[in-house]
Structure 1
Amino acid sequence: MSNKKDSKLFYFMVGKNIKKYRDIRKYSLQTLGDKVGVTKKTIQRYENGEIKIDVDRLSEIADALNVEVSQLIEGAETFLGVDVNDLDMIKVPIVGTVSCGNGTLAFENIEGHEDTPRSWVKGGEFFYVRAQGDSMVNARIHNGDLLLIRKQEDVEEGEIAAVLIDEKVYLKRVFKNDGIMVLQSENPEKYGPIFRTEENESNIKILGKLKKIVIDM
């Protein structure tokens, strides 16, 4: 079978899957087109396998249909030797430093990007930091581990957050008591708590919530 024919079969199968899940969701061509930001004619051409779909567009369609990319290429990947895991991955930056000039956070010194399952980073903006030291060992966070952080300015009681303290990023468990924020390590015999009060709150900011730990092997 020629590569050209393989390609046509791939997009034909993808198109069938798009229509399958569009029918399950009871979306019209127009509804799906509006969700993705294309015309209903374009969706129809995708479903008929008439035009190619790049990975980013395929991901947008999957999000609109509330399915994984792997579900849209089910039965199709063999025609092109496509790695499903590659299609479901997104590159997330590894942040080296964070500054807070004039009250504005700036994520600087991007050390690289980590391939990350798209399903991990839905519903927000994410970045990685690399764990340093042993202050969170009881939470199974060790020196060198990559920590996936969801950007947000606050976290719930007892959650682990990435916290900027005097322009250095730390991982701490967050507690609150009468307007005082208590930042607790997970190695209390070695590291005492840090308190954020009205006097020092400009020097301590929550960057986001810990979502995943990627263990350094």
Structure 2
Amino acid sequence: MRHKSEELMKQIMDYAEQFQLLNHRSPYTSEIADALGIVKSTVYKYLVAMNDRGMLSYRNGEIVTERTNKISLLTKPAAVLGSVSCGMPQLEEEYIEEYVSLPVSLFGEGEFFILRASGDSMIGAGINSGDMIVIRKQNTASDGDIVVALVDNESTLKRFFLDTERRCVRLHPENPKYPDIYTQNCTVQGVAVHVIKSLE
């Protein structure tokens, strides 16, 4: 096959890129052949020719194009749980709604879970009721961190401070209509690192 069809090369390239975006791996030659209605050996010959022309890289069955080279395949699973109080602490039954994949390039390393904010006590920090809060699971926090704290078996989302004078933890809402919560019975469940919200 001396003359390669430019149209078929474009179809193979487009299919390979779309497949990798959806499946996070390169398609097999048999999958390309089935999708485009051609034989597997033709796909292989085209991929070799496209590699030789510098249109893509084809090595050991792996197809890499300029576009797919920019795709980060590193992700971390995160459970989407129920809501967390952004008002007074409230008891919420923890349940997993679904799992989502968070790109490491955006969210960093760590173990994460996602909670839906409920209430208005953190509006000063840009967290509104209904926002999705990405939480890095950890049991320590620094002054000023926004944390999910377990207080008397009830979860709440507040800004964390150590009160050395009172020898306790101060959980500070970002809304002046709510009082600070002072407690010696506080367990940090995680630190908020991102807010996912809809723009209105």
1:91 to 1:168, Cα distance in 2 relative to 1, 3 A: same
Q: Answer with 155-164 or 130-139: which moved more.
A: 155-164
1:170 to 1:74, Cα distance in 2 relative to 1, 3 A: farther
* Mapped pair 1:161 → 2:152: no
Alignment correspondent of 1:119: 105
RMSD of Structure 2 on Structure 1 (CA): 3.2
Distance 2:182 2:112 in 1: 26
Greater fraction helix = 1
1:152 to 1:89, Cα distance in 2 relative to 1, 3 A: closer
* Mapped pair 1:148 → 2:131: no
2:117 to 127, 131, 134: 131
* Mapped pair 1:13 → 2:57: yes
Distance 1:77 1:216 in 2: 28
Answer whether contact 1:13 1:76 (CA < 8 A) is retained: no
> Structure 2 regions of 5+ residues with no counterpart?
1-8, 13-31, 33-42, 85-92
Identity %: 31
1:184 to 135, 148, 172: 172
* Larger Rg computed on CA atoms: 2
* Mapped pair 1:50 → 2:29: no
Q: 1:42-88 CA deviation, whole Å, 9 max, x = no partner?
A: xxxxxxx21459xxxxxxxxxxxxxxxxxxx562639xxxx937x45
2:187 to 199, 205, 213: 205
One-letter identity of the residue aligned with 2:60:
E
Distance 1:74 1:156 in 2: 43
Shift of 1:176: 0.8
1:136 to 1:129, Cα distance in 2 relative to 1, 3 A: same
> Structure 1 regions of 5+ residues with no counterpart?
15-48, 54-72, 99-106
Distance 1:166 1:205 in 2: 9
Question: TM (normalized to structure 1)?
Answer: 0.55
Shift of 1:210: 0.9
Alignment correspondent of 2:3: none
Residue 124 of structure 2 aligns to a residue whose secondary structure is helix
Shift of 1:165: 2.4
Shift of 1:91: 4.1
Distance 2:146 2:67 in 1: 41
Answer whether contact 2:147 2:159 (CA < 8 A) is retained: yes
Question: TM (normalized to structure 2)?
Answer: 0.60
Count the aligned residue pairs.
Answer: 144
1:185 to 1:210, Cα distance in 2 relative to 1, 3 A: same
